[in-house]
């Protein structure tokens, strides 16, 4: 029997931490699929702001199916975390991240 298969990383809601995920094949060696693995995007600006985005793999960056959060720093310290539209829903476009409202 085959051992566990690495399938990627998942976001642990609501903590936002990354968890490495392994799935054990069934008795026939088939690895079940999961819908909890996301594509991630990162963007950094020169004014101490960082953006993180998550979407289902294959999602266009122009589609309104991204969850985006904005992190603000003062020096090396994280001072603020806000979500696009004030929620953690998958309903924002990655390409429009800088023009979104965050709270």
Q: For residue range 5-51, what is the model confidence (pLDDT) as tens digits?
A: 445 555 555 555 545 555 555 666 655 555 457 888 889 988 899 99
Nearest to 59 by CA among 91, 86, 34: 91
- DSSP label at 63? S
pLDDT per position as a tens digit, 52-103: 998 888 889 999 999 999 999 998 899 999 999 999 999 999 999 999 999 9
Q: What is this structure's pTM?
A: 0.65
Please count the residues of the chain: 103
List of residues 6+ apart from 68 with CB closer than 8 A: 51, 52, 53, 83, 84, 92, 94, 97, 100
């Amino acid at each position: 029997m085959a051992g566990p298969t690495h399938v990627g990383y998942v976001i642990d809601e609501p903590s936002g931490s990354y968890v490495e995920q392994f799935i054990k094949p069934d008795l026939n060696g088939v690895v079940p699929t999961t819908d909890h693995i996301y594509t991630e995007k990162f963007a950094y600006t020169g004014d101490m702001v960082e953006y993180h985005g998550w979407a289902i793999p294959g999602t266009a960056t122009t589609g309104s199916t991204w969850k985006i959060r904005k992190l603000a720093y003062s020096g090396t310290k994280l001072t603020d975390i806000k979500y696009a539209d004030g929620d953690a829903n998958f309903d924002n476009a990655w390409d429009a991240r800088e023009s979104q409202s965050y709270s």
